[in-house]
Chains A and B, each alone.
Chain A
Amino acid sequence: GESVGLHLPTLSVQEGDNSIINCAYSNSASDYFIWYKQESGKGPQFIIDIRSNMDKRQGQRVTVLLNKTVKHLSLQIAATQPGDSAVYFCAEKNAGGGNKLTFGTGTQLKVEL
């Protein structure tokens, strides 16, 4: 069955350091992946996405890497700031699956001053 899992439930980093959040997925038919950030009391906020025909995509301070060989996705946040503290989810969409997203369990990122 489908499953998207995260390796670490909590990640603590020092302000200014780079953060790396990992995600494993099991469905090789997934063709689109999204990273979301969720702050307390809010809905998930889109960070960055990547299609399965790419292996890297960069945004502002964020980079997503996709390794289809080992079904692994990672989110890198450069120069982590206190405002980055939140829960981060990866999500996958199956080709032909409409807009159904399968979410990972989430990683709590804590930025220490």
Chain B
Amino acid sequence: KAGVTQTPRYLIKTRGQQVTLSCSPISGHRSVSWYQQTPGQGLQFLFEYFSETQRNKGNFPGRFSGRQFSNSRSEMNVSTLELGDSALYLCASSLESGGGYGYTFGSGTRLTVV
């Protein structure tokens, strides 16, 4: 079966712009979580969506937001980009929320802010 698909793979944006990243979970998975990965901070949890509702949120500013659609696909948006937002953004899908089992990651979107 198809894995977790993230688009685009690479993005270059200018400081101050906004960006939208997309994640299509494994078929049947209803939970989608987003993570930011940087060399300095490692992997940090952004938020989780389950059945179109945000279930958990990490310690990121309000410039980071997300949503989930009825088909479980999810998008995350970063507004007013800063240089420090340059990172690999990963999404992970899971069948349910709370179990954490069967957690599968996509290959990520590499965002570079210049």
Chain A interface residues toward B at CB < 8 A: 32, 34, 36, 41-46, 49, 89, 91, 93, 96-106
Q: Is the CB of A100 within 8 A of B107?
A: no
Query: Is there a chain A Cβ closer than 8 Å to B68's Cβ?
Result: no
Nearest CB in chain A: distance from B52 CB, A: 15
Q: Which residues of A contact B99 (CB under 8 A)?
A: 99
Q: Which residues of B contact A49 (CB under 8 A)?
A: 101
Contacting A41 at CB < 8 Å: which of B56, B105, B107?
B107
Q: Is the CB of B45 within 8 A of A42?
A: no
Query: Main secondary structure on chain B at its contact with chain A?
Result: strand
Query: Is there a chain A Cβ closer than 8 Å to B63's Cβ?
Result: no
Q: Which residues of B contact A36 (CB under 8 A)?
A: 105
Q: Is the CB of B31 within 8 A of A99?
A: yes
**Inter-chain contact count A-B, CB under 8 Å?**
68
Q: Is the CB of B105 within 8 A of A43?
A: yes
Query: Closest residue of chain B to A105, judged by CB?
Result: B42
Given A43-B106, A93-B100, A99-B42 contact (CB < 8 Å): no
7 nearest A-B residue pairs (beta carbon): A43-B105, A103-B43, A93-B100, A98-B56, A98-B55, A100-B56, A44-B105
**Residue from the set B50, B98, B103, B107 with the largest chain A CB neighbour count within 10 Å:** B103
Query: Closest residue of chain B to A94, judged by CB?
Result: B100
Query: Is there a chain A Cβ closer than 8 Å to B86's Cβ?
Result: no
* Cβ contacts B22-48/A at 8 Å (1 or 0 each): 000000000101010000001111001
